[in-house]
């Protein structure tokens, strides 16, 4: 083998080796997981969930035994066409659930889940007692399943995005909370106040723009990771990198950042 060939084979092989070593020494933040907390089981709260019939479409993989023992086999999920609800307690806050039960499509575009109006005071966008218990039950579901991955937390750099495509995507994915004009008054916003209302992005209401970071990267990071404990969910698994970059480009533009 002459020198040239060795160089051709050797350089990519070395690059791969360094990548592998780099990965082992410094895995991406997503893989550095806190251990999942043990799963609580409150029978009274679980009863509200079972009475609401959520088991017709959902399972909670971390509570299969408890639900079966307390309420029979069906309660553990008969035809789980909807996602495993294990871990949702760490992903959505109580306000998000209320908005979701009222009109799922407002917070989750294209949702297949029927509205759960039986969980509200008649005709009013205010949860009734059962509704509050179902939400409380969901908030206890903090232990992850294998399916239900925790959200990323690392800061990320936005790839180049197309603001016009972002504008269209915003109408579908974000307008329910932030408003079609990004003025903060989407139909779901009436449910959301803790810890903060959906900000009026078009009026420049940004609080997550750390000094020393490009605003577009900060916006992209919020879209990717969500804001833990708030109603702003992570869009990491729902939208591609390119879609999040397009959104960040439009949000930065409309917000004057």
Contact residues for ligand HEC (CB under 6 A)? Answer: 52-54, 56-58, 81-83, 85, 88, 96, 99, 104, 107-108, 111-114, 116, 134, 138, 173-174, 176-178, 188, 192, 195-196, 198-199, 206-209, 219, 222-223, 227, 230-232, 235, 247, 251
Please say whether the beta carbons of 29 and 152 come within 8 A. Answer: yes
Tell me if the bond preceding 203 is cis, omega within 30° of 0.
Answer: no
Question: What is the phi/psi pair of residue 128, to 5°?
Answer: -85, -175
Q: What is the spatial distance between Cα 229 and Cα 91, in angstroms, rounded to a whole number? A: 8
- On whether the CB atoms of residues 250 and 163 are closer than 8 A, the answer is yes
Judged by beta carbon, residue 76 or residue 174, the one nearer ligand HEC is 174
- CB distance 96 to 107 below 8 Å: yes
Q: Looking at beta carbons only, is 30 or 105 nearer to ligand HEC?
A: 105
Distance in Å, CB of 19 to ligand HEC, minimum: 31
Residue 57 or residue 68: which is nearer to ligand HEC going by CB? 57
Task: Report how far residue 104's alpha carbon sits from residue 233's, in angstroms, rounded to the nearest whole number.
Answer: 14
Tokens for 59, please give them. 């399972």
Measured from the CB atom, is 68 or 196 closer to ligand HEC?
Answer: 196
Contacts of 226 (CB under 8 A, 6+ apart): 91, 151, 232, 233, 234, 235
In the complex, minimum distance from the CB of residue 34 to ligand HEC, in angstroms, rounded to a whole number: 19
The alpha carbons of the chain give a radius of gyration, in whole angstroms, of: 22
- Residues, the chain, total? 257
Smallest separation (angstroms) from ligand HEC to the CB of 35 = 21
> What is the closest distance, in whole angstroms, from the C-beta atom of residue 107 to ligand HEC in the complex?
4
Q: Which is nearer to ligand HEC, 19 or 168 (CB)?
A: 168
Provide the minimum distance between the beta carbon of 40 and ligand HEC in the complex, in angstroms, as a whole number. 16
For ligand HEC, the closer of residues 75 and 85 by Cβ is 85
State in angstroms the smallest separation of the CB of 29 from ligand HEC. Answer: 20
- How far apart, in whole angstroms, are the C-alpha atoms of residue 106 and residue 174? 8
- Closest C-alpha among 143, 145, 118, 148 to residue 54: 118
> Is 1 or 160 the residue whose CB approaches ligand HEC more closely?
160
Minimal distance in Å, beta carbon 53 to ligand HEC?
6
- Please give the C-alpha separations between residue 109 and each of 27, 177, 235, in angstroms, as whole numbers: 33, 11, 12
* Cα dihedral 190→48→89→72 (10° resolution): -150
């Amino acid at each position: 083998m002459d020198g040239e060939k060795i160089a051709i084979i050797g350089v990519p092989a070395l690059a791969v080796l360094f990548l592998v070593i780099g990965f082992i020494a410094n895995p991406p933040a997503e893989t550095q997981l806190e251990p999942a907390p043990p799963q609580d089981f409150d029978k009274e709260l679980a009863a509200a969930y079972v009475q609401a019939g959520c088991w017709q479409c959902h399972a909670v993989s971390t509570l299969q035994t408890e639900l079966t023992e307390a309420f029979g086999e069906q309660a553990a999920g008969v035809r789980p066409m909807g996602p495993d609800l294990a871990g949702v307690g760490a992903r959505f806050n109580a306000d998000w659930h209320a908005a979701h039960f009222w009109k799922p499509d407002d917070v989750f575009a294209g949702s297949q889940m029927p509205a759960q109006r039986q969980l509200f005071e008649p005709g009013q966008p205010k949860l009734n007692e059962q509704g509050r218990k179902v939400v409380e039950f969901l908030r206890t579901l903090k232990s992850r399943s294998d399916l239900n991955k925790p959200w990323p937390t690392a800061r990320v750099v936005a790839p180049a995005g197309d603001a016009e495509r972002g504008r269209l995507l915003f109408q579908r994915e974000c307008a329910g909370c932030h408003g079609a004009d990004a003025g903060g008054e989407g139909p779901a916003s009436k449910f959301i106040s803790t810890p903060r209302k959906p900000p009026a992005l078009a009026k420049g209401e940004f609080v997550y723009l750390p000094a020393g970071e490009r605003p577009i990267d900060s916006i992209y990071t919020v879209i990717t990771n969500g804001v833990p404990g708030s109603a702003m969910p992570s869009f990491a698994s729902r939208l591609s990198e390119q879609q999040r970059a397009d959104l960040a480009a439009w949000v930065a533009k409309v917000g004057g950042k």
